[in-house]
Amino acid sequence: MKKDESKKVLVAMSGGVDSSVAAALLKSRGFDVMGVFMRFWKAPNAKTQGGWNRCCSIESENRARAVAQKLGIPFYTLNFSSEFKKRIVDYFLKEYKQGRTPNPCVVCNKEIKFGLLLEKALAFKADFIATGHYAKKQGNNLLKSKDRQKDQTYFLWQLSQKQLKRIMFPVGGYTKPQVRELARKFNLSTAKTKESQEVCFIETTTAEFLKKYLKQKPGNILNKKKEKVGEHQGLWFYTVGQRRGIGISGGPYFVLNKNMKTNTLVVTKDIKDLQRKELLAKNINWISDKAPKLPLKVLAKIRYGSEESSAVITRAKKPKTYKIIFTKPQTSIASGQSVVFYNKKELLGGGIII
């Protein structure tokens, strides 16, 4: 057994197939593995057993516990509900209320999964934490996973070197079908567990969730000519580029802009109006912890589901603000979302779109 294989690893187990296989792989390689299930938020009127949201339901915990028992590893449950509410849910609501489109998964990774959990891991005297994220490490660098369709590096751009040196991504070298096949070989009960697609703490839709916590503030919907074409029920229920659910006839319409001062929603019928070649970003983080020389040519993504596009990063006039200039126009750039930078397979860092 190699020296590193005797080290202790705390594995975040969600009750899904990816984290289950992550724990099984590490156990098979001789690591001293512990499983931990994180409870995030007990929301009012949650429909799951025990009242916890589906991201941390009793059902999910039971699946994770069953896998830990199958693997013969210790299993613990950590309650992060108070911290999760303050750092993730409150941030989510605040961003929408101010007219931006937040990315809670990015913040959760930094604050909870690789923040609070890492602190707990050190208290457990663990050498590493591991998750089921589709990402790869190579030395001090963070790389895309083998499965490009499932790659989750977009959500990891806020990580630091201090965090990265303590993190393991066991499934990053596999495709999703390979992970499910491994689950079957390990005889894990989560082999056929379905994936969650929505934001983990939202039971229904984002719009329904926002209606529970943000008061409706009706206003006018205007076209580009500033003509009234309808009424909205609150600007925070819409995001730039949105097509469905606007609630006006004669379309299709796309959300072009939100004016928080006048409480007006601006829409367009021409999708070309949503295209821009430049954006400004703040709160830039570099995975290497060292800012590169600018201007810098990169591949950049403006949302998780978008394609990467060639771009150049330069400094903007405003302090601590950067300008990203794309070779090709990008559609539906939304403030509050993350713009993430790559050099081929390597994740360089990212920032928040202004």
The fold of 215-269 is SH3 type barrels. (2.30.30)
Determine the number of helices (DSSP H) and then strands (DSSP E) in the chain: 9, 17
Closest CA to 223 of 250, 187, 202: 250
Q: What's the CATH superfamily of 275-353? A: Translation factors (2.40.30.10)
Quick one: which of 272, 288, 348 has its CA closest to 313?
348
Positions of the chain with pLDDT under 70: 1-5, 43-54, 197-198
The predicted model scores a pTM of 0.93
pLDDT score for 1: 37
Quick one: pLDDT at residue 3?
A: 46
Q: Which of 208, 225, 220, 326 is nearest to 273 (CA)?
A: 225
Confidence at residue 235, expressed as pLDDT on a 0 to 100 scale: 94
Residue 146 near residue 136, CB atoms below 8 Å: yes
What pLDDT is attached to residue 194?
86
Residue 51, pLDDT score: 58
Domain residue extents for the chain: 3-185, 215-269, 275-353
The catalytic residues are 108, 200
Return the CATH architecture of domain 3-185: 3-Layer(aba) Sandwich (3.40)
**Can 3-185 and 275-353 be said to share one CATH topology?**
no
* Contact yes or no for 37/76 (Cβ under 8 A): yes
The reported pLDDT for the residue numbered 54 is 67
Query: Are residues 72 and 186 in contact, defined by beta-carbon separation less than 8 angstroms?
Result: no
